[in-house]
Amino acid sequence: MKKKIMTFAICIFLILLLNGCSVASEKEIIRYANEKYGEATLIRTEKIDDEEVVCYFKDKEYSFEYFVSSYMNDIVIDGATFGSTENKGSNFDITYYNYINDTIKDEIHDIEDKYNVNISISDGTYIYYFARISYNSNDTSNAALVSGEVSDLYTSIDSRHYWKDMVVEVYDCSGNYIGSYHSEQSAWMTPEEEIDLIYIDAIASLSPDAVYVGKEQHVFSETGVNINNVVQVLGNPEVKVDSIVTYYMFIVDDKEYYMCDFMITNDIGGYEWYTNYKK
């Protein structure tokens, strides 16, 4: 009964909150496009119907064209519809990505010939890497150099740093992943170093003054954590009492702390990396 009352209350709240909600105005879409994608010139606006409007823009820096749409989505709870909310969509990502690829295609071919590699790009479904390099020989000793050159081609054009967190992935001739060049850090990273980066970033979120100093490995039982409080992380090995876990050591205000590579439940029912640091 309480669950039904709570659901009903939430529905009423949403209805009141979303009452009068509509698609964004042309002015609002222009502001959104300039703030999110960089300066652009409005070409035209099309009102599809009362629930969708599309604005077409020309990028001021590179002159390619893209659109930003504002549209309404129904809010469905337990199979029932309770009003609608405004959303925005755009083809900017794929348009900008394709523009860069078209611009550097000759240089990409030169790198392929120079280093005897194949370079492929994203199909645009989900763009999280600039390109993928596949070696045609067993020698991958220059992977950091080659991937860095490819990354530099992209970042030299992306002056607004829209793709600042992108990578160039590298695979050996057998199709095994051997690492990536990370544009944000301007650094080559092995798979192990990429895993370390996850925890180093997590440490930074604990305190802006945290300084990472290295890592150690210990048996889980040494942590003193109840194994029943451990949360299984997708993609990570199952943690058992005799598992070897990694301690990522860091210093805050001259005191050393650690964060481990496993998660536990916290006091409010959420999940967090296990650490002996308290804010």
107-127 pLDDT per residue, tens: 999 999 999 999 999 988 889
Residue 266 has pLDDT above 90, yes or no: no
Average pLDDT, the chain: 89
275: its two tokens? 């650490």
What integer is the mean pLDDT of 65-73? 92
Report the distance separating Cα 149 and Cα 191, nearest Å.
20
How much is the pLDDT for 126?
A: 86
How much is the pLDDT for 41?
A: 97
How much is the pLDDT for 73?
A: 76
Q: What share of the chain is helix, strand, coil (3-state, %, to 5)?
A: 35, 35, 30
How much is the pLDDT for 80?
A: 64
What integer is the mean pLDDT of 165-176? 96
Report the distance separating Cα 53 and Cα 264, nearest Å.
46
Residues near 52 by beta carbon (within 8 Å), at least 6 away in sequence: 23, 69, 70, 71, 72
How much is the pLDDT for 235?
A: 80
β-pair partners for 6: none
How much is the pLDDT for 253?
A: 94
pTM metric for this prediction: 0.80
Report the distance separating Cα 8 and Cα 50, nearest Å.
28
Lowest mean pLDDT among 2-6, 39-43, 87-91, 111-115: 2-6
Report the distance separating Cα 131 and Cα 241, nearest Å.
41
How much is the pLDDT for 190?
A: 97
How much is the pLDDT for 82?
A: 58
- Residue environment code for 23-47, b if the CB has 16+ CB neighbours within 10 A, otherwise e: bbeeeebbebbeeebbebebeeeee
156: its two tokens? 């030299």
How much is the pLDDT for 279?
A: 64
Q: Look at residue 92 and give its three-state secondary structure.
A: helix
Nearest to 198 by CA among 127, 145, 263: 263
Quick one: CA dihedral 68, 159, 193, 198, positive or negative? negative
18: its two tokens? 């979303």
Report the distance separating Cα 179 and Cα 193, nearest Å.
9
Lowest mean pLDDT among 121-125, 210-214, 241-245, 257-261: 121-125
Residue 138 has pLDDT above 90, yes or no: yes
Structural contact between residues 163 and 130, judged by C-beta atoms closer than 8 angstroms = yes
Residue 3 has pLDDT above 90, yes or no: no
83 versus 70: the higher-pLDDT residue is 70
96: its two tokens? 């900008």
How much is the pLDDT for 16?
A: 43
How much is the pLDDT for 264?
A: 94
Q: What is the pLDDT of residues 176-217, one digit of tens each?
A: 999 999 999 999 999 999 999 999 999 999 999 999 999 999
Report the distance separating Cα 107 and Cα 101, nearest Å.
10
Count the Cβ atoms, other than its own, within 10 Å of residue 269.
6
Q: Look at residue 130 and give its three-state secondary structure.
A: strand
Nearest to 103 by CA among 146, 62, 144, 145: 62
Report the distance separating Cα 252 and Cα 265, nearest Å.
24
Nearest to 182 by CA among 251, 129, 250: 129
How much is the pLDDT for 44?
A: 96
Lowest mean pLDDT among 49-58, 153-162, 267-276: 267-276
Backbone φ and ψ of 270, nearest 5° = -95, -170
